[in-house]
Amino acid sequence: MNNSLWLVSNILNILGTRWTDKINENKIMRSLVNGFFYLILSSIRKAISQRESSSDNVVVVSLHRLGDSVFTIPALRQIKNAYPKQIIILCFKETKPIYNLIFDESELLVVERKQFKLNGRYATKKIRSLVSELDPKIILDLNGDMASASLLYLLGVKEIYGLCRPQFRAIYKKCITVRKVPHIIDIYLDAIRTIIQLENRNNIYEFPTKINKQGKILIHPSAGWSAKEWGLTKFLELGEKLSKSFSIGMIFQNSLLTSDVRNEIKKTNITLFETENIEELIETTNNCFLFISNDSGPLYIAGLRGVPTFTIYGPTNPLFHLPFGQYHDYIQSDLKCIPKSNEKLCFANGGRKGCPAFECMNQLSVDTVHLRISKFIEKLLTENIKTTNLTDNDNS
């Protein structure tokens, strides 16, 4: 069986890297492929000895990047409310500090990306053994991709729920496909509806806000890919304008900071903050007055900590990503090529494929952004918000 499973995973890897788009565009081909994998995975699941669990453990698979890890928090809180003593979250090492803000150490099972083979798409036997040793009664999948499917299809667990791709549905007792409409948080709330009922969904989106009017304004000029970046030169000019009235800092991951950039920042009135890891990022972000960035994971971590945020969007859709609440604002160029209301990315795959000019970012001048941010700052300064900290006990 191991050889056949390895063959299946390699086929899935090929589909994931070369042919997925073509298959999805062809309904007949898509149906044939989904049916093929359903038959194979159904046979595998039937051949596995499925056992009754001797525990009440609920294992949640949440193997995400920084930003998406933040967006899973509302759903994970609801799971913890429903299963307060049994939840165990499987996460990557780099996102552990985010989950540590909400969950106890004992509620986290940490793995590394290198433990997934085939470009991160296939779970190794070691990870499957780690999950199996927990003897879970329920597994909830917040990924719904090939990596999580490869982790789950060999486990003898009857109650597997959550997100899934159509070709993997045979693995699950009940699953739902990933939605393609806003917000990202709703994707994970959809997943938990497969095992619990959400009575009042509207009250669980926002994180508590704290406005530290004596804190610094922190600028984070990086992003997950270059097309989402407004540009270091513009951010430095913006920081200089803001520094006339506020203490301004600029935060960089140490490994991404070149000597040239460091020297340019030293010429300004901006304080440079260099971070080695996510823990340092969280600590630096914690007490600032406002966090300004492109569409990026660190901005969403700041929002999670209750810090007001201002995002400069370009080829991605703020309707999918913007933190909820009146203390989070953004700006985006009004161009025909920016993502439509039901699109997560622009026509050029978020600027990574075939964008001719990157006008969505290039047309946003420093003066335009500064004016918008200044109005937002005025609003923050007039608010009287009780300072609160997001703690493990804050599950409202």
Last residue of a domain, one of 155, 182, 204: 204
Last residue of a domain, one of 204, 233, 268: 204
Write down the pLDDT at residue 17.
46
Per residue in 164-188, pLDDT (tens digit) is 988 899 999 999 999 989 999 999 9
Last residue of a domain, one of 204, 236, 258: 204
Q: How far apart are CA 56 and CA 137, in angstroms?
A: 5
| Residues 167 and 284 reside in one and the same domain | no
Q: How far apart are CA 355 and CA 358, in angstroms?
A: 6
Identify whether 387 is part of a domain.
Answer: no
Identify whether 330 is part of a domain.
Answer: yes
| Residues 18 and 160 reside in one and the same domain | yes
Per residue in 117-144, pLDDT (tens digit) is 888 888 998 999 999 999 999 999 999 9
Instruction: Report the domain count for the chain.
Output: 2
| Residues 227 and 200 reside in one and the same domain | no
Identify whether 126 is part of a domain.
Answer: yes
Give the model's confidence band at 396: pLDDT under 50 very low, under 70 low, under 90 confident, else very high: very low
| Residues 119 and 156 reside in one and the same domain | yes
Give the model's confidence band at 19: pLDDT under 50 very low, under 70 low, under 90 confident, else very high: low
* Four-point Cα dihedral 333, 339, 345, 350, nearest 10: -40
Identify whether 390 is part of a domain.
Answer: no
- pTM of the prediction? 0.87
Domain that residue 375 falls in: 217-382
Q: How far apart are CA 396 and CA 209, in angstroms?
A: 13
| Residues 131 and 272 reside in one and the same domain | no
| Residues 117 and 251 reside in one and the same domain | no
Tell me the mean pLDDT in the region 150-159.
91
Write down the pLDDT at residue 394.
41
Identify whether 276 is part of a domain.
Answer: yes
3-state SS, the chain, equals CHHHHHHHHHHHHHHHHHHHHHHHHCHHHHHHHHHHHHHHHHHHHHHCCCECCCCCCEEEECCCCHHHHHHCHHHHHHHHHHCCCCEEEEEEHHHHHHHHCCCCHHHEEEECHHHEECCCCEECHHHHHHHHHCCCCEEEECCCCHHHHHHHCCCCECEEEEECCHHHHHHCCEEECCCCCCCHHHHHHHHHCCCCCCCCHHHHCCCCCCCCCCCCEEEECCCCCHHHCCCHHHHHHHHHHHCCCCCEEEEEEHHHCCHHHHHHHHCCCCEEEEECCHHHHHHHHCCCCEEEEECCHHHHHHHHCCCCEEEEECCECHHHHCCCCCCEEEEECCCCCCCCCCCCECCCCCCCCCCCCCHHHHCCCHHHHHHHHHHHHHHHHHCCCCCCCCCCCCCC
| Residues 173 and 243 reside in one and the same domain | no
Tokens of 19: 């042919």
| Residues 79 and 196 reside in one and the same domain | yes
Tell me the mean pLDDT in the region 38-57.
82
Give yes or no for a contact between 55 and 287, defined as CB atoms under 8 angstroms apart: no
CATH number of the domain residue 252 falls in: 3.40.50.2000
| Residues 257 and 352 reside in one and the same domain | yes
Q: Is residue 393 scored above 50 in pLDDT?
A: no
**CB within 8 Å of 288: residues ≥ 6 apart:** 212, 215, 216, 217, 218, 249, 302, 307
Identify whether 211 is part of a domain.
Answer: no
Identify whether 210 is part of a domain.
Answer: no
- Walk across the sheet containing 108-111 and list its strands: 108-111, 87-92, 58-61, 138-141, 159-163, 174-176
Identify whether 391 is part of a domain.
Answer: no
Give yes or no for a contact between 200 and 208, defined as CB atoms under 8 angstroms apart: no
| Residues 228 and 182 reside in one and the same domain | no
Q: How far apart are CA 176 and CA 188, in angstroms?
A: 10
Tell me the mean pLDDT in the region 301-314.
96
Give the model's confidence band at 395: pLDDT under 50 very low, under 70 low, under 90 confident, else very high: very low
Tell me the mean pLDDT in the region 350-363.
90
Q: Is residue 333 scored above 80 in pLDDT?
A: yes
| Residues 294 and 371 reside in one and the same domain | yes
| Residues 56 and 166 reside in one and the same domain | yes
Q: Is residue 227 scored above 50 in pLDDT?
A: yes
9-13, 146-150, 277-281: segment of lowest average pLDDT: 9-13
